Amino acid sequence: MSRSRTYRLVVVWLLLVMVTLASWSLDAGFVGRWTGLAVLLLAFIKARIVLFDFMDLARAPKTIQLLGNAWTAAACAVLAGIYWFHI
């Protein structure tokens, strides 16, 4: 692995750590539906980062990238709807 690739992965990993800390602070400090949705959204942001940077979806063909984005958005929307409306 090249040095620039390793550096990028370390930076992305630090970003994931910061998003995790943000979701923990939201969960510890606030109560309510909006907080739960914010934590869920942060989790899916992390999922997208992992898909594109650690699983190399960024280097995949555009159709595969589109499917990865669509899956992430659809899963987030479905879970947010279930959470919000208590289906």
Q: Where are the domains of the chain?
A: 3-85
Query: Is the pTM for the entire model greater than 0.95?
Result: no
Average pLDDT for 65-78:
95
Transcribe the chain into DSSP letters: --HHHHHHHHHHHHHHHHHHHHHHHHHHH--SHHHHHHHHHHHHHHHHHIIIIIS-GGGS-HHHHHHHHHHHHHHHHHHHHHHHHT-
Q: Among 6-15, 30-39, 62-71, where is mean pLDDT lowest?
A: 30-39
How far is residue 17's CA from residue 52's CA, in Å, rounded to a whole number?
16
Higher pLDDT, 1 or 56: 56
* Total length of the chain: 87
Side-chain half-sphere exposure of 77, counting CA atoms within 13 A: 6
Mean pLDDT across 28-57: 87
Residue 1 has pLDDT above 90, yes or no: no
